[in-house]
Structure 1
Amino acid sequence: MKNLFQTLIFGILIFVLNACSSTNSVSNANITKLLKDGEFTFMAQRANPTSSDVVNVLNSFPNSSSSQVLNLDYGYSLKITKDELVAELPYFGRMFSSNYDNTKNSYRFTSKDFNISESSGKKGSTIYTINAKDQQNIRRMILEVFANGKAYLSIDSSDRQPISYDGYIKENSK
């Protein structure tokens, strides 16, 4: 009887954990189509700042965890089309030349002059190296997209510490 109860509890736990797992709304066939077309939107879910100052501030809050990951609200994205690159991403970290205009302290820009080079990565991923020529502070952005739709974006700037984002890709909204 005790083993039956433990098996039942274990089965319910597996069912609940499986139901709570995050799923991607884009099918694998649609992901390969998006990657082939080269037009998609990266939706950021988490920010990973590299600055130890940010981590120290986050750890000073009561009841905080010691993780370096910041969960983001819905809407932070990097939209890639054939003729336009639109970034709306927050920034957490040290800036070496800050601006009094707070809207310019994050990654919010539209680029019409950019290069994208595509290469294949490990375990079937696709790596996009993006160079925005009309943005003076951004050196490069590296976007790695996996076969299940999950993606990892790293931004390297000349005026601030690097930052990376975890998220997924989706089809561009019409």
Structure 2
Amino acid sequence: MKNLIYSICIIAVVSFSSCSQKIYNSTANVQQLINTDQFTFLAERANPTNFDVINVMNSFPGAGSQRFLTLDYGYVITLKDKELKVDLPYFGRMYTPNFDSTKNNFNFTSKDFTLNKTQNKKGDWEYKMVTNDQPSQITINISVFSNGKSYANLISNDRQSISYDGYIMKNKEITK
């Protein structure tokens, strides 16, 4: 009986120690990216706010919506020198959809946008970017935590809002 209790305690300790906070980037690297305002937000998961989408995904047999919303590598928001590039999928209700389905995602480059950056009481950074050169005004809110984990929320005039979980990293250098 004692061996059973000891083994249960060991399993509990090992399982709780594996739930520690994941480090996506060092604090110094995150601070450097924040200071330069040049980084790439890499989305790992999409979180739609439309319950119709969530209900459809939950209706598939044998799987919940959590598995379907994990994104492949490459969906990003890139902030560079006076340029904002967004390439993210969209799941939700659109009020003015396009017949070309490739144009229904968030896939654009903006050179005319406003950028506001604030730091909250906990030391995390909040970015607010509003595009001025897109057919519909898009507001992008990105919360950056000290370990590099980030949360992005996109709000548009022509569709319901959607959020993404991910992390920030250094922009990739383009060599010619």
Output the TM-score relative to the length of structure 1: 0.88
TM alignment of 1:11-90, pairs within 5 A: 11=10, 14-15=13-14, 18=17, 23-65=22-64, 70-90=69-89
Give the unaligned 5+ runs of structure 2. Answer: none
- Partner amino acid, structure 1, of 2:28: A
Q: Hey, what does 1:163 align to over in structure 2?
A: 162
SS of residue matched to 2:53: helix
8 Å CA contact 2:24, 2:167 repeated in 1: no
CA-CA distance at 1:136 after TM superposition: 2.3
Displaced runs of 4+ in structure 1, greater than 3 A? 2-25, 66-69
CA contact (8 A) 1:41 1:79 kept: yes
Bigger drift between 30-39 and 10-19 goes to 10-19
**Post-superposition CA distance 1:92-141 (Å, at most 9, x none):** 00111111111110001111111110111242211010011111223311
For residues 69 and 12 of structure 2, the distance between their equivalents in structure 1, rounded to whole angstroms, comes to 27
Give 1:40 deviation, angstroms: 0.4
3-state SS in 2 of match to 1:161:
strand
Amino acid at match of 2:149: K
Deviation at 1:63, TM superposition (A): 1.3
Q: Tell me the amino acid that sits aligned with residue 35 of structure 2.
A: K
After TM superposition, the structure 1 stretch with the greater mean CA deviation from structure 2, 64-73 or 135-144, is 64-73
Aligned 1:113-152 pairs, distance under 5 A: 113-152=112-151
Q: Secondary structure at the match of 1:23?
A: coil
Query: Which amino acid in 2 is paired with 1:41?
Result: T
Contact 1:43/1:168, CA 8 A, preserved across alignment: yes
Equivalent pairs counted in the alignment come to 173
Code of the residue aligned with 1:104 in structure 2: it is K
Is the Cα contact below 8 Å between 1:46 and 1:69 reproduced in 2?
no
Stretch deviating more after TM superposition (28-37 or 113-122): 113-122
Aligned mates of 1:141, 1:69 — CA distance in 2? 23
Separation (CA, whole Å) in 2 of partners of 1:7 and 1:149: 37
Residue identity in the other structure for 1:130: M
Contact 2:57 2:68 in 1 (8 A): no
TM-score by length of 2: 0.87
CA distance in 2, matches of 1:68, 1:125: 29
3-state SS of the aligned residue for 2:172? coil
